[in-house]
């Protein structure tokens, strides 16, 4: 009988937190929580209620101030707290999947490590992973399985908020819904056209420049809350994988 390896995967971002059940490499029962630690921890409790015993917590975070709360939560629930980091990537469940070529590996964002490990496991290398969240991040793994570095650029929420905060008359544009108009015939439409089309141009140029720099034809993989919206109806050949970060976190933390 196959041993069922289970973890609870938690991905703490600047805008929201995702949680899911990782079972033998399959991610299920995913919840996206916008209400901070209280909502996300309640979602984890709901997952634990259906399990026969406490399971490890595979933890990804780009919000350091949240780490203490989650460590305390894991301790109270008697869960083994396993945080994604370069050392665990090398020696944990993803050992040998990726090697790291980076001056200061300890400074690599945990989400970028999880994205890269998950992408190589699911799609192989070379691969370029872009995570469309509060920031737009990219991770590059070349054909030889080496994590070379990446890119960090403003995400869609930051672009929207900057326009609103730094201008006197522009409204706070709604994001995540609605397509690109043929031309802006209102302030909202003009902003939407400029933001979405300009953002797609940035994504296209990043992918093109990295391909030239490494002489690689990368498999393009996208994840994050805004990926499907930004890439809809484009010629950008991305595979959209909504559970990639949670999958990679579980993979790295599955000792």
144 among known catalytic residues:
no
Burial 5-34 (b: 16+ CB within 10 A, else e): ebbbbbbbbeebbbbbbbbeeebeebbbbe
- Report, as an integer, the average pLDDT of 67-78: 97
- Report, as an integer, the average pLDDT of 161-167: 68
pLDDT recorded at residue 92 = 75
pLDDT recorded at residue 2 = 45
Q: Tokens 């900057």 correspond to what residue? A: 162
Asked whether residue 144 falls in the same domain as residue 241, the answer is: yes
- Report, as an integer, the average pLDDT of 136-161: 87
Asked whether residue 150 falls in the same domain as residue 249, the answer is: yes
- Report, as an integer, the average pLDDT of 195-223: 92
Q: In total, how many domains does the chain have?
A: 2
From 11, 111, 115, 131, active-site residue:
111
Domain extent, residue 60, equals 1-83
Asked whether residue 76 falls in the same domain as residue 125, the answer is: no
Specify the pTM. 0.90
Asked whether residue 148 falls in the same domain as residue 224, the answer is: yes
Structural domain includes residue 225: yes
Residue 232 has pLDDT above 50, yes or no: yes
Task: Let me know the angle formed at the C-alpha of 151 by 136 and 18, rounded to the nearest 5 degrees.
Answer: 40
Asked whether residue 103 falls in the same domain as residue 78, the answer is: no
Structural domain includes residue 92: no
Structural domain includes residue 79: yes
Asked whether residue 63 falls in the same domain as residue 139, the answer is: no
Structural domain includes residue 58: yes
Residue 177 has pLDDT above 70, yes or no: no
Domain CATH code at residue 72 = 3.30.420.40
Asked whether residue 219 falls in the same domain as residue 179, the answer is: yes
Structural domain includes residue 91: no
190 or 103, which is more confident?
103
pLDDT (tens digit, 9 = 90+) per residue, 2-38? Answer: 456 899 999 999 889 999 999 999 999 999 998 889 9
% the chain with pLDDT above 90: 63
- Report, as an integer, the average pLDDT of 102-112: 92
Structural domain includes residue 162: yes
């Amino acid at each position: 009988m196959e041993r069922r390896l289970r973890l609870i995967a938690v991905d703490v971002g600047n805008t929201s937190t995702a949680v899911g059940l990782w079972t033998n490499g399959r991610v299920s029962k995913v919840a996206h929580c916008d209400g901070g630690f209280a909502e996300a921890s309640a979602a984890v409790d709901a997952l634990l209620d259906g399990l026969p015993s406490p399971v490890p917590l595979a933890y990804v975070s780009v919000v350091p101030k949240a780490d203490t709360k989650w460590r305390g939560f894991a301790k109270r629930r008697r869960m083994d707290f396993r945080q994604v980091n370069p050392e665990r990537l090398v020696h944990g469940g993803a050992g040998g999947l990726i090697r790291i070529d980076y001056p200061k590996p300890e400074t690599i964002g945990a989400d970028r490590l999880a994205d890269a490990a998950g992408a190589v496991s699911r799609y192989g290398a070379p691969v370029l992973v872009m995570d469309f969240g509060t920031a737009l991040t990219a991770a590059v793994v070349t054909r030889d399985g080496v994590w070379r570095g990446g890119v960090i650029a403003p995400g869609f929420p930051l672009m929207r908020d900057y326009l609103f905060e730094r201008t006197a008359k522009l409204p706070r544009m709604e994001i995540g819904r609605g397509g690109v108009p043929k031309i802006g015939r209102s302030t909202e439409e003009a902003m939407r056209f400029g933001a979405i089309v300009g953002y797609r141009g940035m994504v296209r140029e990043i992918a093109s420049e990295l391909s030239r720099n490494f002489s690689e034809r990368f498999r393009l993989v996208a994840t994050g809350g805004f990926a499907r919206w930004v890439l809809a109806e484009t010629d950008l050949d991305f595979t959209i994988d909504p559970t990639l970060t949670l999958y990679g976190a579980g993979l790295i933390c599955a000792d």
